Structure 1
Amino acid sequence: MQVAGVGFDAVTEDEVVDWVAAELAAGRGGRIVTPNVDICRAAAVDPALKDLVRTADLVVADGMPLVWAARLLGTPLPERVTGADLIWSLSKLAARHGWPVYLLGGPPGAPQKAARELTSCYPRLRICGVHAPPYCFDATPEGGDRVRRAVIAARPRLVFVGLGFPRQDRLIADLREELPETWFLGCGAAIAFAAGTVPRAPVWMRRIGLEWAFRLGGEPARLARRYLVDDLPFAVRLLGRCLVTRLRRM
């Protein structure tokens, strides 16, 4: 179904996990993109970014405004599915089957801390590599190659990439060619959340679509422009257009 010009798969988190499990068992890899309002806004003005999302194997809505918009259009998504939740449910899956996992991204030390938290929760989980590359690691071909070679050498079956859109998704698209039997999740801040280095909003705030406000309160200097100047007007316009479409159909 189409929301904000992006095609979403109408699946629950459990259905994503089941899909990935079946594909991994069959020796097939893939990639998951979790668009939020910010990603949809970027994709709306850049055809290359829109194509980066469109070509993913699974596209799930990480943002309550997108869930609300789908409801207004009469094509509801079953639930919000976030990278911050999938990193746990997919790690549980990997632990159950013995599939090795690689953590790539987050602030310095975050993937190591996230690995400890995940293995504490799932003792059978195999972490085959962790790395927090510097912000501009891909500014040179050599820097990007070093990161790619490290992931490829580890031979993971699941890779969580928390480098932010579109950097993480471009890297994943490159790695897919080298690791065709591996599943990749572009998960943004999920590694930092799992590590505990960045706090996540309480469940009640997530449910009513206020996770962005919690994050803004924690990092106002970094997120104010993105949330208040760029994303909030886009979300308001999106919901307004969807409401008008719904009323015209009545």
Structure 2
Amino acid sequence: VEVDALSEREVVRRVAVALEAGKGGRIVTPNVDICRAVATDPALEELVCTADLVVPDGMPLVWAARLLGTPVPQRVTGADLIWSLSELAARHGWPVYLLGGPPGVARRAAGRLASRHPRLAICGVHAPPYHFDATPEGAARVRRMVVAARPRLVFVGLGFPRQDRLIADLREELPDAWFVGCGAAIAFAAGTVARAPRWMRRAGLEWVFRLAAEPGRLTRRYLVDDLPFAVRLLAGCLATRISRR
């Protein structure tokens, strides 16, 4: 997975320039779990690597880039972009759509975003049922709702790869909009799921905080699947750096 060496501020600037020119795009924020999925599925690799912006959501990716001698400025998360891009949208009057989360969560997130940015125009919120895309009709219904709202910025928090497949389809129908596959960012913005303290995020320990908060859901994902992959990733990057010497 190749990532763009951009800070959060630079991502916002790129999106602003594109929107002002009437051009859309999509942002993927891969973390260790996404990279693990991509490593064994060429279709998912293409889904990630064909995005207009790919920025690392996860400190292991930042560390891996440093080990390879190709550092990135910082970790850029969907949970942060939902706030900074909403601020951008509020300044320019670009309508925003929130898609995802449990029932009521997207609406609550919209309220909190609007309270911080009173000029923010929320043109729609929707929490589709978990298996909405099990049939072509269900997926088409959700796409019609988003298209009808005519957003310029869409946050899609349905988890990878479901959110990114939906975004790829929506890009064809809304070519002048930007889409962010943001995972749990809508729940974070709503305040229904707590984020780790800033020092834990900077130290690469946010996963420990989330594991403690949701052990039933995240234990296997973090400890059985992602942690060994992260170790192999960093070890491989270190070996590559040594071999270059």
Q: Normalised by the shorter chain, which TM-score bucket?
A: over 0.9
Whether 1:78 aligns to 2:85 is no
Identity, in percent, stands at 79
User: How far off is 1:244 after superposition?
Assistant: 1.5
- 19, 24, 49: which one aligns with 1:24: 19
User: How far off is 1:46 after superposition?
Assistant: 0.2
- 101, 117, 123: which one aligns with 1:128: 123
After TM superposition, list the pairs within 5 Å mapping 1:27-38 onto structure 2: 27-38=22-33
- 158, 165, 175: which one aligns with 1:163: 158
Partner of 2:42: 47
Partner of 1:3: none
Structure 2 unaligned residues grouped into runs of 5+:
none
- Residue identity matched to 1:158: L
How far, CA to CA, are the matches of 2:237 and 2:150 in structure 1? 44
How far, CA to CA, are the matches of 1:248 and 1:8 in structure 2? 22
Partner of 2:60: 65
**CA shift digits 1:16-64 (9 cap, x unpaired):** 0000000000000000000000000000000000000011000000000
How far, CA to CA, are the matches of 1:171 and 1:40 in structure 2? 19
How far, CA to CA, are the matches of 2:138 and 2:215 in structure 1? 30
User: How far off is 1:247 after superposition?
Assistant: 2.0
Local SS of the residue matching 2:123: strand
Number of residue equivalences: 245
- Residue identity matched to 1:240: A
- Residue identity matched to 2:128: P
After TM superposition, list the pairs within 5 Å mapping 1:156-195 onto structure 2: 156-195=151-190
User: How far off is 1:145 after superposition?
Assistant: 1.0
User: How far off is 1:248 after superposition?
Assistant: 2.3
How far, CA to CA, are the matches of 2:172 and 2:237 in structure 1? 38
Partner of 1:243: 238
Partner of 2:195: 200
Local SS of the residue matching 1:7: coil
Whether 1:105 aligns to 2:103 is no
TM-score of the superposed pair, with normalisation by structure 1: 0.97
User: How far off is 1:113 after superposition?
Assistant: 0.4
How far, CA to CA, are the matches of 1:191 and 1:249 in structure 2? 42
User: How far off is 1:245 after superposition?
Assistant: 1.6
Partner of 1:221: 216
Q: Which moved more, 1:238-247 or 1:109-118?
A: 238-247
- Residue identity matched to 1:107: P
Structure 1 unaligned residues grouped into runs of 5+:
1-5
How far, CA to CA, are the matches of 2:187 and 2:141 in structure 1? 22
